[in-house]
Structure 1
């Protein structure tokens, strides 16, 4: 687009556009000319990027070989393309120069040059000896940058001026004196349209502005045609594409309803909420072409249901817990209300230093969203497991039922009941236990990551839990486990020391206490242990804390505290590294910060995948107990915290 002269109307803003030039007549079949294009820097990085993106000479030089006459057309076309790029950044007096050089070579004994707009260019190109690669250079003279002049808002139907409110002017953002950059102008119109719709005007539209070039003042006057339309509420909501999912459930789960003010942000939140149910491959929403007779805006949600079954694998390894491998089968939308049934079977204890042999973990999970009401989900689990740790051997059957209730964007509360029947052998003594629990947990998370496997770079995660418990075999005894976990993340980009997400410090703290019972009054699996990736790396799982006399095997304790400092550095696009120090202790009393403090340190590498980093860490104990391991290796998916 070229605007020249006073009050010449420019009807479009396009950063990259075709000049419309037609290529010259084709050269004889098979005659092609290789060339290399170089674009000189203009001094404006954004402009340079636009010129590089718009140039056919540059983008097609390796993939679309052409003959001399077609190449001449390509060169002349680039004049218009570069000129359009200049104007899109406000350089309306700018000019492009394209020079074609035939370098000196054995086939071409004399170097020669020609300008790309020379009338004899096609024949000059046709005379190029075979085997000679032409050098094409593009340079620009920007000239002065034009600025925005007068800005007017007119009704799209031509009925007078449109007056904006303060909030609408703020959303628009464009002011007289701003550089006349096309992308900025178009963005301002889009922002104003978004604001008008968010205020409840579903038919609002801000059309592409008409621009009036004023060369004498080097300004660009703008006239935006604006349609505001009536304010409206959401009308009837239609659901299309549901096959196995009950419409009544979708309407209950939806966060918008007829009668609410039309707001695209709220409608988009509702769409994302339905997409997160996990039973749809796509969820879309669109407005009706016009308002309903009652003045409301009907909406149509479109669904494409996903496959009902999936099979997955789970693999993990650490030197203390050994290998863990198994498979998972998932049935989605079990009863038509987005329920999810997951069956998992795992083999555990494959070669771990804290293990005495192979174990298993087999469980069935049923997840039911929005039950018994909105903003809360129910989960049920039945599990059978066998764990052969050196500290104890356990065979157990568990049943759990719980509710997770969302309080707001960051806070969740989890509560429920659980029961466990188990048999535990500890150093030749076997005891049976029957336990019931009533766990209560509150969690806070403002890290704003899309998945727990995605590394956090800012914010906090806090978990506060209390688990009243009762052992009901022989005589009933009561105790409670209290635990607090917290982690936070600091991106060095906040201090200008790195790019966002590349260099991050992560901190973790854990405090736990058993109230109401001493160590030997509670089952071994309910005691607190230190060591391993969840607490203190460098020490084997259950390797920190009071130990049986003359052995390296932990008794378990009734208090725990641990902390971690970790630095995570991303390298290139797919790799990373980490260094960390962990410290903690397990005590025999109910008060934390007692016992022998153990410290471990180490580092690792990361390979980043679309679902999260694959992690490999090696840690060593800095104050190893006499019978402790010298090092530990951990492999898993996602960061440790």
Structure 2
């Protein structure tokens, strides 16, 4: 009898249910893309269906929770009377079974009966209902505080008005926007509470109340400094763009903090203040500093087939005398195997930069340098010294002026001459690209560089001459035409023009003449490979006028890679005006690998009308774009 009963029970039992229960979630669109994204982000059914599968009973709990989660997402967009339908069905090749409502009390038993081989489909349908709008907006004074009335500017800062859609994000944002506005007006101790809202179903509106405490208008009090071990506090004070007694404004305080951070001697700068005023009614500020390492060592390198390899090391002292002075010593080996070089050379120099020399935004720079380079055009051994002022006159413009002397010996075509050159270089630069680091690629805007250098050669025949040169580059992002994503596809154009006045070509020292060829002007030609040359040789004469132009297309590929195509053209002549001489053109392509400090560049270029004895191709490797 017992065996018979057992057999009957087994015969009536359902197939083994799946545990965990696999399912797929389908959320039907509402017609509002932003709302749909919020609903999908809020749904645990959708977000956890692959990574956190659960038993049928736990899945029913997840369905019940999604009603509340999806309702919260809808309410955040102002839909306070929606209809949410969640249904479950068995999915098969022939469609789905009769849907089961998510609120059905028999849903757990129904899920438990689903065979393990079946997959379930859960669909979510939403009827938004009417969108609620903002009703009355009240500004309430805190208990025991005087009444608060906002002026027109402060009302505008709230960012909400009666009649606007009742979006939760906008209402909550009103708190931070008003807090920021009051602080910028000098109310350092102002307090704006989280908005409170009351639902009015009869009018389909939400009334909003915000409690505000203004407090007094506050000026800055005394400044204190901590963490300054090697930097003079007096210099930090001179660098500050704020001072005690001025109106408290968080934006100006943050700008001052960033200005100190940009000095290059601090790894971190923080500004703190208490939430209570000093006895005189001002608000003191405490600046805390973490100083950077005093010394650093860097390695420099590059390669092109014309100038060969360039490798060296530099040592930098970041705070030489306690006022952010920077001393950099550099030693480079040059001319390692280049087609425009006849042998190994060197470049040794010491740079000193003193910031805020004489006035703010004005730096003193000085250099002592020893050079030896064995170019095919000439062999040069030189010692030079220069000093100058670089002044920032606006967010885009910088000007520089100074003096330079150079003693050099140059061998050219079996002749050796010594020169002593004195010059007064003047320059102005404009950068409207918005790129702070010149190594990082620009995607829009214009860069301009202009140089005028009056010079005198005072040995081996005296001559006076003036070198003038200007370069303009601009960048156009195809995203402006809707043809690409921002920063992915960019055209870059560069033009350079130069002229030497006051002396003929042979009255000017060879290193002061104008040349073209190489990555700075016309790629595909070796350095100094464009322009007049001595007969039957690779020696460039140089000239007194020069012009060159480049057109480059830059395409980002995936996240870290890119490709470049370009064409360059230029000419050099011994005339008094540019746009004369034999025009040479080159074309090529390159690859980019983008790193946090800038793109690694590899370009290959070929000459399109190669001169006699010219190279057939050139390779360029470096860091950063060519322009």
Taking structure 1 as the reference length, the TM-score comes to 0.87
Output the CA distance in 2 between the equivalents of 1:610 and 1:71: 45
**Residue 185 of structure 1 pairs with residue 171 of structure 2:** yes
Q: CA RMSD for the aligned pairs?
A: 2.8
Asked whether the equivalents of residues 154 and 160 of structure 1 are also in contact (C-alpha less than 8 Å), the reply is no
Give the corresponding residue for 2:258.
272
Cα distance in structure 2, aligned partners of 1:308 and 1:273: 19
2:569/2:586 contact within 8 Å kept: yes
**Which residue is equivalent to 1:458?**
444
1:614: Cα distance to partner? 2.2
8 Å Cα contact 1:437/1:468 also seen in 2? yes
Query: How big is the shift at 1:35?
Result: 4.5
Query: What pairs with 1:307-346 in structure 2 (closer than 5 Å)?
Result: 307-346=293-332
Aligned residue in 1 for 2:478? 492
Tell me the CA shift for residue 514 of structure 1. Answer: 1.6
1:149 paired residue among 119, 135, 142: 135
* Selected match of 2:592 from 606, 609, 613: 606
Which residue is 2:80 aligned to?
92
Q: How does 1:225-244 map to 2 (within 5 A)?
A: 225-244=211-230
Q: 1:640 offset after TM fit, Å? A: 1.4
Using a 3 Å threshold, how does the CA distance of structure 1 residues 60 and 268 change in structure 2: closer, same or farther? same
Map 1:240-319; keep pairs closer than 5 Å: 240-319=226-305
Instruction: Pick closer, same or farther for the CA change 1:118–1:293 going to 2, 3 Å.
Output: farther
CA-to-partner distance for each residue in 1:525-555, whole Å, 9 max, x for gaps?
1111011111122222111111111223311
Deviations 1:233-291 (A, max 9, x none): 22212223323322222111111111222222221211111111122222222332122
Do the aligned residues in 1 keep the contact of 2:78 with 2:168 (CA within 8 Å)?
A: yes
Alpha-carbon offset, residue 38 of structure 1: 4.2
**What is the CA distance between 1:79 and its match in structure 2?**
2.3
Instruction: Give me the whole-angstrom Cα distance separating, in 1, the residues matched to 2:201 and 2:493.
Output: 59
Relative to structure 1, the CA distance from residue 401 to residue 295 in structure 2 (aligned partners, 3 Å threshold; closer, same or farther) is same
Which is further off, 288-297 or 256-265?
Answer: 288-297
Shift, 1:330, TM fit:
2.7
The answer to whether the Cα contact below 8 Å between 2:340 and 2:375 also exists between their aligned partners in 1 is: yes
Structure 1, 71-80 or 81-90: larger mean CA deviation: 71-80
Native 8 Å contact 2:417 2:460 kept in 1: no
- Give the 3-state SS of the residue equivalent to 1:580 in structure 2: strand
Deviation, 1:64, is: 4.3
Secondary structure of 1:435 counterpart: strand
Query: Equivalent residue for 2:465?
Result: 479
Structure 2 match to 1:170? 156
Aligned length: 609
On the 8 A contact 1:288/1:300 being kept in 2, the answer is no
- In structure 2, relative to structure 1, the CA distance for the partners of 1:161 and 1:489 (3 Å cut) is farther
Q: What secondary structure, in the 3-state scheme, does the structure 2 residue paired with 1:183 have?
A: helix
Q: More deviation in 67-76 or 583-592?
A: 67-76
- 2-structure distance, mates of 1:122, 1:635: 67
Question: Residues 325-474 of structure 1: matches in 2 within 5 Å?
Answer: 325-474=311-460
CA separation in 2, counterparts of 1:115 and 1:346?
Answer: 77
Distance 1:206 1:496, change over 3 A: farther
| Aligned position for 2:15 | none
Given the superposition, is the C-alpha separation of residues 146 and 517 from structure 1 closer, same or farther in structure 2, using an over 3 Å criterion? Answer: same
Alpha-carbon distance between aligned partners in 2 of 1:161 and 1:72, rounded to the nearest angstrom: 52
- Contact conserved, 1:557 with 1:587, CA < 8 A, in 2? yes
Q: Which residue of 2 aligns with 1:578?
A: 564
Q: 1:504 touches 1:568 (CA, 8 Å); kept in 2?
A: yes
Matched, 1:75 2:38: no
When residues 374 and 517 of structure 1 are mapped into structure 2, their CA distance, relative to the original with a 3 A threshold, is: same
Matches within 5 A, 1:615-634: 615-634=601-620
The 10-residue stretch of structure 1 (65-74 or 242-251) with the greater mean CA deviation from structure 2? 65-74
Given that 1:424 and 1:432 are in contact with CA atoms closer than 8 Å, whether structure 2 keeps it comes out as yes
Structure 2 CA distance, aligned partners of 1:354 and 1:623? 18
CA contact (8 A) 1:325 1:347 kept: yes
Q: Does 1:563 align with 2:580?
A: no
- C-alpha spacing 1:131/1:424, structure 2 compared with 1 (3 Å): farther
Task: Report the counterpart of residue 43 of structure 1 in structure 2.
Answer: 31
The SS at the match of 1:154 is: strand
Q: Distance in 2 between matches of 1:120 and 1:327?
A: 77
Secondary structure of 1:43's aligned partner: coil
Q: Is contact 2:145-2:213 (8 Å) kept?
A: no
The CA deviation at 1:565 is 2.6
CA deviations on 1:580-625 (whole Å, 9 max, x unpaired) are 3322221213322222222223333323222222222232323322
Range that drifts further, 135-144 or 438-447: 135-144
How far is 1:36 from its partner? Answer: 4.3
Stretch deviating more after TM superposition (218-227 or 53-62): 53-62
Q: Is the 8 Å Cα contact of residues 524 and 587 (structure 2) preserved in structure 1? A: yes
- Describe the shift of the 1:600–1:169 C-alpha distance in structure 2 as closer, same or farther (beyond 3 A): farther
Q: Distance in 1 between matches of 2:465 and 2:346?
A: 28
* Cα distance, 1:393 vs structure 2: 1.5
Determine if the alignment matches structure 1 residue 519 to structure 2 residue 505: yes
Deviations 1:63-122 (A, max 9, x none): 4454455444433333222211111111111243333445469xxxx9686444444555
Q: Distance in 2 between matches of 1:231 and 1:287?
A: 15
Unaligned runs of 5+ in 2: 1-17
Equivalence for 2:536: 550
**Greater mean alpha carbon deviation, residues 151-160 or residues 545-554:** 151-160
Does 267-276 or 180-189 show the bigger shift?
180-189
SS at match of 1:255: coil
Between structure 1 and structure 2, the one with the greater Rg is: 2
Change (3 A) 1:553 1:41: farther
| Structure 1 match to 2:189 | 203
Residue 539 of structure 1 corresponds to 525
Secondary structure of the residue that 2:484 maps to in structure 1?
coil
- Shift in CA distance, 45/610, structure 1 to aligned 2, threshold 3 Å: farther
